[in-house]
Amino acid sequence: MAFSPVATYAFVGTNYNKVASGDWTRYPVLGGQCANAVESTAAVCVKNSSYLANIFGKVSTACDNLAKSDKVFNGVSKVVKFAKNNVNPLIVASGVTKVALAKKEDREKTFYSEGGMIAGMFLGEGWMKGHLDKVVLSKLPISKKWMPIVKGTLFVAGSLTSSAIGQKLGQMFYKNVEKSRAEKAEKLAQQVVQATGQEKVDSQSKKSIDVKA
């Protein structure tokens, strides 16, 4: 089960927006989040309605039987199940794909940007999964009715914020690396110029001595 059904629905929206904006590497992530959203919806319905629980039970049994008899459906169900259970690895794979497909001159920049975003997301979500309930939600004057919505909203906001901060830090780190690299190159160039100039001076001095001799 997902950390929060509300968060799962929101992540479907954010990943759909990424796909719609041209980020095709997010298609597997979107598929996994959609599968999680369906599972979350089914769990809520089953918990609150015996009638719906009976329907979902029959649908689940029918799908299992179809998977056993139809190789294509079985293959599709395995792909969907894998995506559902491996959303985070698929997000990492998305970032790796972007780095691999980036232009050679942009590859390092993309690496720091994507790496920072993914690291920030994992750190932020990891902290929230361990502390959001105890540190934040337990201190808010909110009824149990609204708690799942607030929990999901805060989780999504925290995830997006931490990933944005991580991406920004990654970009800043890349700029510092580029700056340091440029400074070293400039220093080396100055040393070469100074050495070349000294060689010219030494050469001219030698010629002058030879003339006098």
Q: In this structure, are 83 and 166 located in the same domain?
A: no
Domain that includes residue 74, residue range: 1-99
Say how many CA atoms lie within 13 Å of 185 toward its Cβ: 6
Closest by alpha carbon to 82, among 118, 15, 121, 36?
36
Confidence of residue 211 (pLDDT cuts 50, 70, 90): very low
The sign of the torsion formed by the CA atoms of 199, 201, 205, 208 equals: positive
Query: What are all long-range contacts of 87-94, with beta carbons under 8 Å and residues at least 24 apart?
Result: 87/29, 87/32, 87/33, 87/36, 88/122, 90/28, 90/29, 90/32, 91/29, 91/118, 91/121, 92/118, 93/25, 93/28, 94/23, 94/25, 94/26, 94/28, 94/29
State residue 157 phi and psi, 5-degree precision: -60, -45
Q: In this structure, are 44 and 140 located in the same domain?
A: no
Average pLDDT over residues 10-27: 91
In angstroms, the CA 54 to CA 2 distance is 22
Average pLDDT over residues 76-98: 86
- Give every CB contact of residue 196 below 8 A, 6+ residues apart in sequence: none
Boundary (domain end) residue, out of 47, 81, 99: 99
State residue 171 phi and psi, 5-degree precision: -65, -40
Q: In this structure, are 51 and 115 located in the same domain?
A: no
Q: In this structure, are 22 and 64 located in the same domain?
A: yes
Q: In this structure, are 120 and 93 located in the same domain?
A: no
Question: Quick one: tokens of 131?
Answer: 């502390």
Q: In this structure, are 118 and 173 located in the same domain?
A: yes
Q: In this structure, are 23 and 109 located in the same domain?
A: no
In angstroms, the CA 54 to CA 144 distance is 27
Boundary (domain end) residue, out of 99, 128, 146: 99
Q: What was the pLDDT predicted at 99?
A: 93
Maximum distance among all Cα pairs of the chain, rounded to whole angstroms: 114
Q: Which has the minimum average pLDDT: 7-11, 15-19, 71-75, 81-85? A: 71-75
What share of the chain has pLDDT > 90, as a percent? 35
Write the pLDDT tens digit of every residue in 115-143: 999 999 999 999 999 998 888 888 888 88
What share of the chain has pLDDT > 70, as a percent? 82
Boundary (domain end) residue, out of 30, 64, 99: 99
Q: Which has the minimum average pLDDT: 70-79, 100-109, 188-197? A: 70-79
Write the pLDDT tens digit of every residue in 142-192: 888 888 888 889 999 999 999 999 999 999 999 999 999 888 988 888 888
DSSP state of 49: -
Q: In this structure, are 14 and 87 located in the same domain?
A: yes
Q: Which has the minimum average pLDDT: 1-15, 85-99, 118-132, 166-180? A: 1-15
Mean confidence (pLDDT) of the chain: 82
Q: In this structure, are 152 and 177 located in the same domain?
A: yes
Average pLDDT over residues 24-53: 79
Q: In this structure, are 93 and 150 located in the same domain?
A: no
**Residue, of 194 and 46, whose pLDDT is higher:** 194
Q: In this structure, are 79 and 31 located in the same domain?
A: yes
Question: How many domains, the chain?
Answer: 2
Q: What was the pLDDT predicted at 202?
A: 52
Q: In this structure, are 93 and 13 located in the same domain?
A: yes
pLDDT higher than 70, residue 49: no
